[in-house]
């Protein structure tokens, strides 16, 4: 039987504390790109009880995504926004999920990201990461920005870190290992970086701002 909104809220508040649950349930986080990083980050945020999650991606689920992204084989061909929305609704049925099936660029970032408190950069392309980071830092200096950079290969898990670059800007990853170096992307290490990003987002929501 489907639990009620109150039952889920109370179960989370019992585990996370009432103060955290109150803050997290009213937070709005935009996850830009829902591939290996973004799909895992969104699931962590939904499980923690983030009240409003805005997922943005233009792509469809492909067989090559199954090694690390939170999609199922029967979802191949679906838009990632539709597939992940479905998965999130099973985990957190009362979470308000806004899904935009669009490619984010300099021309639409201001409009699409205007309502969120925290922007999570979870693209795979290095230049797209830089475009998003620069646009958010220039146009929304008051928003928090949590980026991911460097999680390719099967290198040590311990090299992935969270760094606070400036007041509202954080970056997670090893900062070095590029997928372009043909070292591959592994679910385990991508999830570590996604875990860092999701953890920092939850820390910010709870009022803990150091990395």
Shorter beta-carbon distance to other proteins: residue 86 or 124: 124
Mind giving me the DSSP string for 77-125? Answer: TSBHHHHHHHHHHHH-TTSEEEEE-S---TTTHHHHTTT-SEEEE--SS
The secondary element (H helix, E strand) that includes residue 179 is none
Give 164's DSSP letter: E
Residue 35 within binding range of other proteins, rule CB under 8 A = yes
Residue 148 within binding range of other proteins, rule CB under 8 A = yes
Choosing from 147, 192, 201, 204, the residue that interacts with other proteins (CB under 8 A) is 147
Handedness of CA 188, 194, 196, 199 (dihedral sign): negative
Residue 33 within binding range of other proteins, rule CB under 8 A = yes
Residue 86 within binding range of other proteins, rule CB under 8 A = no
Shorter beta-carbon distance to other proteins: residue 28 or 128: 128
The size of the chain, in residues, is: 211
Residue 157 within binding range of other proteins, rule CB under 8 A = no
Binding site for other proteins (CB under 8 A): 33, 35-38, 122-127, 129-130, 133-134, 137-138, 141, 147-152, 165-167, 169, 171, 173, 175-180, 185, 190
């Amino acid at each position: 039987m489907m639990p009620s909104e109150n039952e889920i809220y109370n179960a989370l508040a019992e585990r996370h504390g009432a103060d955290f649950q109150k803050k997290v349930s009213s937070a709005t986080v935009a996850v830009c790109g829902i591939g290996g990083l973004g799909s895992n980050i969104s699931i962590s945020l939904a499980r923690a009880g983030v009240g409003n999650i805005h997922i943005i991606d233009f792509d469809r689920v492909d067989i090559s995504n199954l090694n690390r992204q939170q999609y199922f084989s029967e979802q191949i061909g679906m838009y990632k926004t539709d597939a992940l929305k479905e998965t999130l609704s099973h985990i957190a049925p009362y979470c308000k999920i806004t899904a935009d099936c669009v490619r984010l660029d300099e021309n639409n970032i201001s409009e699409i990201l205007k309502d969120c408190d925290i922007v999570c950069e979870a693209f795979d392309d290095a230049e797209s990461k830089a475009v998003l980071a620069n646009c958010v830092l220039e146009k929304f200096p008051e928003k928090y920005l949590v980026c991911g950079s460097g999680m390719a290969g099967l290198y040590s898990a311990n090299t992935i870190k969270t760094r606070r670059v400036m007041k509202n800007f954080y970056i997670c990853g090893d900062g070095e290992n590029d997928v372009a170096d043909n070292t591959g992307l592994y679910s385990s290490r991508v999830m570590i970086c996604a875990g860092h990003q999701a953890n920092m987002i939850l820390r910010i929501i709870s009022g803990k701002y150091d990395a």
